[in-house]
Structure 1
């Protein structure tokens, strides 16, 4: 399994408390006290009770295991061999982020999907974790090419944001457009990309919604380059950045990278994807052989890394390489290999 970061402590959490009244105020006019209480109650009504305890993800966070996952659909298909069925069932039961793409959840339907996933999270007493993945010129024409045009992307993300804003009793985690920032220098569209992400954050932000920008991974851009790209997004409503999404780097390397980026930025927080990094580092990012699922989400965290999560669903292909199907498609052979030590 991946080398564990040492030692991993729970992230520091900011709590909203009741107002601290000075002794003189307690002895003052009863009218003042009544006005304070009325204002407090009004604040509760306006923002919702969840805001009282609203905290970012941390050690112990459990996210929903989506009933709509490709693993769950594969397990229900009746077409798998015995070992493929066991792998699909295992992965379907693991808490994993759900990827919103316009190909599966288009404009006009994506909001309903978010609400359905929130209902599942509520039933499971879990957080809702979404990956928003529909940016114009997505993946710069590589294996995951596609996405929406600018106008449709604005509408699509606005509908996601409206659905999220209507959910008041579930913690909401959003990983925004994996690879979008790290690829931008190669694609030659840094200014356009950072502006798109800035606007998307504005549309997605809301109470108890924790948004993480793309942070690449420790074997890609230097920490300085990555920090500069994150800074250029200029998104004050983003919680931080997500690392190692769909990649295989050891957790310890990503912790170190997160701390480097945060130090350069003068602050910031991270999520780390541990869904497929259980066999250690590899230089091959596209369906490398010999991989294993990594540590369960909510295992690690510190003052920079909020926690680790399964962000890329194990068993879904990275693209048509090493015999894999198109990017995002369910690949039974990969699901078997990834779970060979845990089934």
Structure 2
């Protein structure tokens, strides 16, 4: 039986406050909590950075993922060469996206139970916020606030007390910060904060609120403020580079800077925000000839798989490298691709070859 490693954020915060208080009383530096930086202020001696909060966890590989399914189909049809070419996509755990307005309970429960039976940690993406994707290639989402809250409540209930990582609403916060027609930023942040609160009731759920990527929002204080209004202090951290191609190094640097921006003005004892990075397709980085705009992120050619998923990355405050976007899934009807989220065999083969 799995040892319960995760605890409710309120309990963890109280423990961190107690530990910090003990350290100060003994003349040592503070812990890795908001308002205390790296703990070096009290003594002038820098404390080592806190390691991954997911260290030791083994990620779950969904046999129904697009990569494993494509390999099985190719083998069953006698397309041995194709199956061998796509084999790397069947060997790495990827996230399961829950992105339809229908009741998410059955699919979330399937994933949660299957992972728990193997003593593995699943990664799920909750992607149904009203006004999703600012009306772009993944437009849609719940009809209104009430529909969304009912949806996320069902999502959370299906997790029960089983361990899971939830990446909450890719692009929702940075779109609101950058400006999105028809989206009231304050209302969206309040809705996301409610979603975090609902998910946080499940004792073994780790919540990472999406924060865009290293090439999007330059105003870190503004982004930090938006994340705080969206409930980041009750989550485990934030997610970067979801469905994007920015390099791991760029996102690690950006994530650390954003985490530090979140520390400023945080209530005493607030745990420092850690983060995860999507490395599924960033092995070659973004296209050099596309400094900005759609060509940088929407089905750019010549890309490659990134570093394999791991829960023990060697970077400050970085909890995991994850394959959140399933390699081979289209970004949208751009660059010759099918609709967003659909399997695109040619793109999958190109990523593996890259």
Shift of 1:92: 2.8
Shift of 1:237: 2.2
Per-residue Cα deviation, 1:60-101 (whole angstroms, up to 9, x for no partner): 543211122222333344579555433444313311111111
Shift of 1:186: 2.0
The 1:141–1:285 alpha-carbon spacing in structure 2 relative to 1, beyond 3 Å, is same
Match of 2:242 in 1: 245
Q: Is contact 1:121–1:128 with CA below 8 Å preserved after alignment?
A: yes
Structural mapping, 1:261-272, within 5 Å: 261-266=258-263, 267-272=272-277
Distance 2:299 2:130 in 1: 24
Structural mapping, 1:82-121, within 5 Å: 82-102=80-100, 106-107=102-103, 110-121=104-115
Match of 2:301 in 1: 289
- Root-mean-square deviation (CA), in Å? 2.6
Structure 1 position 259 matched with structure 2 position 250: no
Distance 1:92 1:57 in 2: 26
Q: Is contact 1:301–1:307 with CA below 8 Å preserved after alignment?
A: no
3-state secondary structure, aligned to 2:124: strand
Distance 1:91 1:118 in 2: 21
Per-residue Cα deviation, 1:127-169 (whole angstroms, up to 9, x for no partner): 01100001111101100001111222111110111111x234x
The 1:111–1:57 alpha-carbon spacing in structure 2 relative to 1, beyond 3 Å, is farther
Match of 2:30 in 1: none
Higher radius of gyration, 1 or 2: 1
Distance 1:202 1:129 in 2: 19
Per-residue Cα deviation, 1:277-299 (whole angstroms, up to 9, x for no partner): 11123341001111111111115
Distance 2:238 2:347 in 1: 28
3-state secondary structure, aligned to 2:170: coil
Q: Is contact 2:95–2:323 with CA below 8 Å preserved after alignment?
A: yes
Structure 1 position 174 matched with structure 2 position 166: yes
Match of 1:274 among 269, 279, 283: 279
Q: Is contact 2:309–2:320 with CA below 8 Å preserved after alignment?
A: yes
Shift of 1:225: 2.9
Structure 1 position 306 matched with structure 2 position 319: yes
Q: Is contact 2:298–2:332 with CA below 8 Å preserved after alignment?
A: yes
Distance 1:259 1:177 in 2: 21
**Structure 1, unpaired ranges of 5+:** 1-13, 17-54
**Structure 2, unpaired ranges of 5+:** 1-11, 16-50, 264-271, 291-295
Q: Is contact 2:52–2:320 with CA below 8 Å preserved after alignment?
A: no
The 1:75–1:232 alpha-carbon spacing in structure 2 relative to 1, beyond 3 Å, is same
TM-score, length basis structure 2? 0.74
Q: Is contact 1:128–1:172 with CA below 8 Å preserved after alignment?
A: yes
Structure 1 position 216 matched with structure 2 position 212: yes
Shift of 1:249: 0.9
Q: Is contact 2:61–2:92 with CA below 8 Å preserved after alignment?
A: yes
Q: Is contact 1:135–1:147 with CA below 8 Å preserved after alignment?
A: yes
The 1:142–1:291 alpha-carbon spacing in structure 2 relative to 1, beyond 3 Å, is same
Distance 1:322 1:80 in 2: 30
TM-score, length basis structure 1? 0.76
